[in-house]
Amino acid sequence: MKNLSHPFEPVYDKDSEILILGSFPSEKSREYGFYYGHPQNRFWKILVYLTKTEQIPISIDDKKHMLFKNKIALWDVIKSCSIISSSDSNITNVVPTDLFIILSHSNIKQIFANGDKAYKLYKKYCSEHISIEITKLPSTSPANATYSFERLVEKWSVIMPYILVNWHIMRGHF
């Protein structure tokens, strides 16, 4: 069991409208140096599909650009914890992140949890202090083998109303 602090800064800007929260970065993500860095995690592939982005971003800067372009903020519920490997089921000694860092400097309208653990941690540590409700989405982790890519896209499509509004406005359709 290792005691770890979150290694990444939140990704957001003043225009961010959607906040996607994970639990805590996996070992592969920590090695890579950014969110959802495991090559088999389907997070980036799903966002590319839903945002109609031309290709999966490779570099961290390209990933940030895609998030900003679509007004998506990204962070995790856990600031520090004790964890074995990358397993959410082994997380203990949780210290939650201060989500007001993002919420007070952005335009977040909706929060989504990438997986059950992020959802439960938000409900336990954050929902009492934050008036924005959270929507639970199935985890994009490769450990969530019960969900095919197509099924994940179907479930994650609940973020589409937020993305489509931004997509049309940016292209002058409104």
| CA–CA separation, 115 and 106 (whole Å) | 23
- CATH at residue 103: 3.40.470.10
| CA–CA separation, 2 and 82 (whole Å) | 5
pTM confidence score: 0.92
Give the model confidence (pLDDT) of 18-56 as tens digits. 999 999 999 999 999 999 999 999 999 999 999 999 999
3-class DSSP state of 115: coil
Give residue 52's region: left, alpha or beta (phi > 0; psi -120 to 50): left
Would you call 41 a catalytic residue per the annotation? yes
From 41, 70, 114, 166, the catalytic residue:
41
Tens digits of pLDDT across the chain (174 residues): 889 999 999 999 999 999 999 999 999 999 999 999 999 999 999 999 999 999 999 999 999 999 999 999 999 999 999 998 877 778 999 999 999 999 999 999 999 999 999 999 999 999 999 999 999 999 999 999 999 999 999 999 999 998 865 544 444 443
How many separate domains does the chain show? 1
- Domain coverage including residue 126: 2-170
What is the DSSP secondary-structure string of 2-50? EEEE--S--B--TT--EEEEESS--HHHHHHTSTT-STT--HHHHHHHH
Q: Which residue has the tokens 């929060």?
A: 111
